[in-house]
Amino acid sequence: MKIILTGNPNVGKSVVFSYLTGYTAISSNYPGTTVEILTGKAKIGGFDCDIIDLPGSYSLEGDNIAEKVASDIIKKSDYDLIINIIDANNLERNLLFALEIISLRTPLIFLINKCDIAKNRGVKINFTEIEKILNVRIIPIIATVGFGFDVLDNEFKKFTQNKEKYIPDIPVPSDTIEKWKKIGEIISKVQKIEHKHPTFLEKLEVITTTPVTAIPFALIVMVLSFYIIRFIGEGLINNLFAPVFNNYYFPVIEKLRNYISYDTLKMLVFGKNPVPMEGFGVLTTGVYVPFVVVLPYVFSFYIVLGFLEDMGYLPRLAVILDKFSHKIGLHGYGSIPLIMGLGCKVPGIFSLRILESNRDKIIAGSLMFLVAPCIPQTAMIFSILSKYSILYTFIVFIYLFIVGVLASFLLNRFIKGSSSDLFVEIPPYHIPLLKNMICKLNIRIKEFFKDTVIAIMAGIFFINILDILNILEKISNFFSPFFKNIFSLPPEISSVVATGFLRKDIAITLLTPFNLGLKEIMVSSFFLVTYLPCLASMMVLRKELGNKNSFYVMGFNFIISLIFTFIFSILLNSLKLI
């Protein structure tokens, strides 16, 4: 049996999907798009079913790409049943899409979700009456606690015995205005609203959407998210992943390395140096980077993201930041990758998916690499510069911000099109369901293993070949005069730059042996932050944006980095701050 889950955004489809499928879900993109479709296996009423969770839609004739994808799948009719999920708190609005689905004359069951929240808000719905009017089986549910799914099981058994009975045959107006008139008539018959005092979550909704209180609240949320991601990520690295690698994996690799006598093969597999971050080996660096360096931050990022998603805060954050973001040509949701990129660029790149247009993704991606050093980079800059004065650390970060704003204006001017207006539904707050968060985390981590790990290992293999062929050394020698004459830096810095994109925090650390002056450290730090993404980010960016768009991002950032590093060097000399 093939079942489609559909409904408006924020009606609880993902919770229903998680409850039905557990951890069997697989994420994939609809062909030719970046729209994510979830599929999973479920047993309903004793029958094995394939469940497809479609993007939320307000209409079958919607304009955005997600709604078009959902509409295409629904209109193909290659399924046995549509389960349309309705929010009991927004019955009137949800009925427009429900009437469109009814007009398709296909087997239907409606689940009216969030009945507990509706009851607490004084919303009373006559489910028997609405079932008679729509001629569709209506099942009230509370997806977060599993209420009503036993009724769905029994109803599905009946459906398998007589599918024709579940095809509604009521007349549906073709004109939108007439549809709304019909909806008004239905609502007057089936829904009553009583006055209730606002709950704590409803009061919080007001606080987080009123500008005077919402902006400080957003800053608190961003700072907390940053530190939680850092705390969990670093904790996993220091207490789990690094010890496991060093105590169990690396000794095995050391023994295996001794059995291989062919030097070229040994260098490809293990690198010139068995130390994980120095050898470029596929089984050393290629395993260490994705599993020890990147995975802990990806894991912690998705925990925080899942919580904020399920709670309903992300749309509010986007709305609060939208006004400033649009002034610099960035979509309101584009601020989220910048925030997440402060932890680790890889999850920041993943969060570009919330943006619809390639234009917005390119701008947000470029800014993320320019203004948002990852946690290790930030820590290393603080470590190296703080021994002089915290003032110099702030100068570097303020300059990064200024360059980011200027770069955003340039991108906004030269990339065709304009940032789309932010049209987003603000859902009510919910206490996130742990099972749903775990299910989402499971899907996203599986996707990381499937795509990102292989890409990172392939990139490291390629870099290893360049290293074996001494091409990296030739690149370093070629650029040495450039660094000396343009940036007034020692020519030896080129060797750090040539290998630094493997792991950029290590590159900043490698500045220490050169006995650089304060100005040279500041200029070098700025360039190492901005010139190119690290290898892991580079491979993930290519996977997310494609070869062409990722090339635009890296090319633009490299040019901006060269220009503004040169300007930074001149400014520090002329202003005599140092």
Given a contact cutoff of 8 angstroms between Cβ atoms, the answer to whether 541 and 455 are in contact is: no
Instruction: Choose the weakest-confidence range: 137-151, 219-233, 368-382, 489-503.
Output: 489-503
DSSP string, 60-71: TT-SSHHHHHHH
What pLDDT score does 471 carry?
80
Average pLDDT estimate for 154-160? 94
In the numeric block, which tokens belong to residue 144? 């977060």
Domain boundaries, the chain: 2-194, 211-573
- Residue 83, Cα to own-chain centre: how many angstroms? 27
Q: Average pLDDT of the chain? A: 83
60-98: pLDDT as tens digits: 887 777 788 889 999 887 899 999 999 999 999 999 999
CA distances to 6, 226, 375, 427 from 342, rounded to whole Å, are 35, 7, 6, 27
First to last CA, the chain: 72
What pLDDT score does 190 carry?
94
What pLDDT score does 32 carry?
43
CA distances to 358, 442, 561 from 491, rounded to whole Å, are 38, 47, 18
The C-alpha atoms of residue 471 and residue 459 are separated, in whole angstroms, by: 15
424-475: pLDDT as tens digits: 677 788 888 887 788 878 877 887 787 667 766 777 777 778 777 878 778 7
Whether the pLDDT of residue 415 is over 50: the answer is: yes
Residues with Cβ within 8 Å of 11's Cβ and at least 6 positions away in sequence, in order, are 56, 85, 86, 87, 90, 94, 113, 114
Given a contact cutoff of 8 angstroms between Cβ atoms, the answer to whether 392 and 385 are in contact is: yes
> Topology of domain 2-194, per CATH?
Rossmann fold (3.40.50)
The C-alpha atoms of residue 117 and residue 88 are separated, in whole angstroms, by: 8
158-175: pLDDT as tens digits: 999 999 999 998 999 989
Whether the pLDDT of residue 324 is over 80: the answer is: no
Q: At what angle do helices 493-500 and 471-485 cross, to 10 degrees?
A: 130
What pLDDT score does 80 carry?
94
